[in-house]
Amino acid sequence: MDRVARGIGVATNNVAEYTAAIEGLKRARDLGAAHVLLRSDSRLLIEQLSGRFRVKNPVLQRLHTEVRGLAEGFTRVRYEHVPREENREADRLANWGVDEWLAGGGATWTPPARAPRLWEEE
């Protein structure tokens, strides 16, 4: 089994899940796979990719389109939800990627300043 782990910077969990799916499909393509089983502990990701849930968020819509485009390059792609407690290796790799990012480029990251108030209460 091949593994990919890398930090992606500051992102939502859903963006991270889609990014992982994209990276996994790219790696499967590079290895010459024809049939792919994409497993994730994100029910939202699996349901959206399976077409059972709509993708409303504009950022996720772009990522969803990218995943679907990559999936078209395979003979068959199946999507499977895996309960988080059965997905410990993926969590370990995700944490490793975050740690690597924090040790490198993420070491100097600071949260953005609070947005100014639009209306001041008197």
Kindly report the CATH number that applies to the domain delimited by 13-108.
Answer: 3.30.420.10
pLDDT band at 86 (very low <50, low <70, confident <90, very high): low
Least confident of 62-66, 91-95, 117-121: 91-95
Domain range list for the chain: 13-108
Tell me which residue of 6, 43, 1 sits closest to 22, measured CA to CA.
Answer: 6
Q: From CA 76, how far away is CA 101, in angstroms rounded?
A: 33
In this prediction, residue 64 carries a pLDDT of: 97
pLDDT digits (tens, 9 = 90+) for 14-70: 898 999 899 999 999 999 999 999 999 899 999 999 999 999 999 999 999 999 999
Asked if the model's pLDDT at residue 81 lies above 80, the reply is yes
